[in-house]
């Protein structure tokens, strides 16, 4: 009888390892890709009066327009509008209508100069977003002083909890992926050893 050895091809192990790694990377990309759009927070895209604008008098309302529909939860939306002396110009609670946030103002006030607007909302992804801007009422001089203590307190206040992004947190993927690659590589090594040189 004739006997000979059949050897595994030298390129079999690297090829198999590369295939496993490519497969795992593909799975990771599929899992991570859907989460990317959800990570973008809504932002202020316009206001009336506009930031930096000059108006003749304090309007009866301030309208903020955002890039997405905000979460309408109790205490989640806060707007503070103050004049140059720190006097609060808001007149009632803000209201949400889709992407628009309307804050009534005390239009009968004689305020002039810089009007500071500090807002805080909860984005559609569940994260709080805040910022500030100013416009000027004719007859006064714009100021750069810090906002009043009441305005600062409102900006720093914690809004009502909205839907959490923890459910879409993909951090676990980057922890599990290296472990999965190591396990897959070890499995390939063991498989290749079993299929090593053997008698036919």
How sure is the predictor about 41, in pLDDT bands with cuts at 50, 70 and 90? confident
Measured CA to CA in angstroms, residue 30 lies from 125, 138, 141, 142, 160 at distances of 20, 55, 55, 51, 33
pLDDT tens, position by position, 48-57: 999 999 999 9
Lowest average pLDDT, out of 18-27, 112-121, 151-160, goes to: 151-160
Residue 118 pLDDT greater than 70, yes or no: yes
How sure is the predictor about 35, in pLDDT bands with cuts at 50, 70 and 90? very low
pTM: 0.54
Q: Which CATH class is domain 41-156?
A: mainly beta
Q: What angle do CA 87, 90, 94 make, to 5 degrees?
A: 150
Please answer whether residues 111 and 135 qualify as being in contact, where contact means their C-beta atoms are separated by less than 8 angstroms. Answer: no
Residue 63 pLDDT greater than 70, yes or no: yes
C-alpha span between 165 and 32 (Å, rounded)? 14
Q: Kindly state the average pLDDT of the residues 14-19.
A: 60
C-alpha span between 93 and 103 (Å, rounded)? 7
User: Where are the chain's structural domains?
Assistant: 10-29+166-199, 41-156
Query: Residue 30: CA atoms inside 13 Å, Cβ hemisphere, count?
Result: 6
**Ranges 107-111, 153-157, 187-191, most confident:** 107-111
62 vs 149, which has greater pLDDT?
A: 62
């Amino acid at each position: 009888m004739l006997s000979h050895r059949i050897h595994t091809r030298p390129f079999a192990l690297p090829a198999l390892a590369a295939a496993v790694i490519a497969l795992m990377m593909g799975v990771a990309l599929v899992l991570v890709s859907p989460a990317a759009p959800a990570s973008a927070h809504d932002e202020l895209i316009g206001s009336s009066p506009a930031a930096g604008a000059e108006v003749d008098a304090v309007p009866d309302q301030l309208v903020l327009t955002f890039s997405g529909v905000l979460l309408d939860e109790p205490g989640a939306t806060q707007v503070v509008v103050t004049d140059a002396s720190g006097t609060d110009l808001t007149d009632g609670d803000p209201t949400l209508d889709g992407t628009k946030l309307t804050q009534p103002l005390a239009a009968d006030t004689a305020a002039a100069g810089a009007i500071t607007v500090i807002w805080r909302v909860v984005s559609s992804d569940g994260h709080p977003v805040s910022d500030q801007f100013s416009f000027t009422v004719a007859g006064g001089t714009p100021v750069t002083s810090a906002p009043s203590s009441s305005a600062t307190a409102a900006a720093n206040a914690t809004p009502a909890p909205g839907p959490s992004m923890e459910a879409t947190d993909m951090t676990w993927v980057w922890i599990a992926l290296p472990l999965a690659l190591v396990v897959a590589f070890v499995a390939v090594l063991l498989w290749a050893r079993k299929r090593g040189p053997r008698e036919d």
